[in-house]
Amino acid sequence: MGVDKGDLYDEVPGTCQYRGYRNGPDHSDQYGLSPQYWHVFAARLAFVVIFEHIIFALTGLMAYIIPSIPSELRTQIKRERLLMKEAQYEHTASYQKENDEYDDLLNAIRNSRSGTRLSEVIEKKNWGQRIRQFSWASSSKKDPLTTVSTLTVAESVDSPKIET
């Protein structure tokens, strides 16, 4: 009832083959990789690439369909950003309005290098009243530009020190 093991070892087979997708011993490239191996390898690689792209597409589609932020919260965030921009704009506009007069005074000082006295430049442009307003308003802020001396314009431009 069984196979006699002695019969198996008596005959020597001509070739020994296994499933490795390699060339046989009678091929010019003995035991090299066969074209069948490369076809299987290309099919495996194509499967991996296609499967990967399908997964990327599905996750992207799910991310698009299911939002990470609820629409109500997104609307509230947009509203708060708009209010923040408006507040920044109003603050910047009021700050520029207050500081434009100081800028005009400083530009007048820089532009006139004729050696006239600073008090004459202030009186020509009606700056005396404005300086008094700003010095009174900013005295609590300890602003170094609150007091204006009567140095000549050339002296005030050359020396960086301002009397307080």
> Whole-model pTM?
0.38
14 domain-assigned: no
Q: Which domain holds residue 119?
A: 71-158
Widest Cα–Cα separation across the chain: 132
Rounded alpha-carbon distances, angstroms, from residue 28 to 22, 24, 51: 12, 9, 37
Task: State pLDDT tens for residues 43-101.
Answer: 999 999 999 999 999 999 999 998 888 889 999 999 999 999 998 888 877 766 666 66
Report the pLDDT value the prediction gives residue 148, as an integer from 0 to 100: 47
pLDDT of 161 strictly over 80 = no
Q: How many domains does the chain have?
A: 1
When mean pLDDT is compared across 11-15, 32-36, 160-164, the lowest value belongs to: 160-164
pLDDT of 152 strictly over 60 = no
Give the up-direction half-sphere exposure of residue 63: CA atoms within 13 A in the CB hemisphere.
Answer: 6
34 domain-assigned: no
26 domain-assigned: no
DSSP state of 117: B
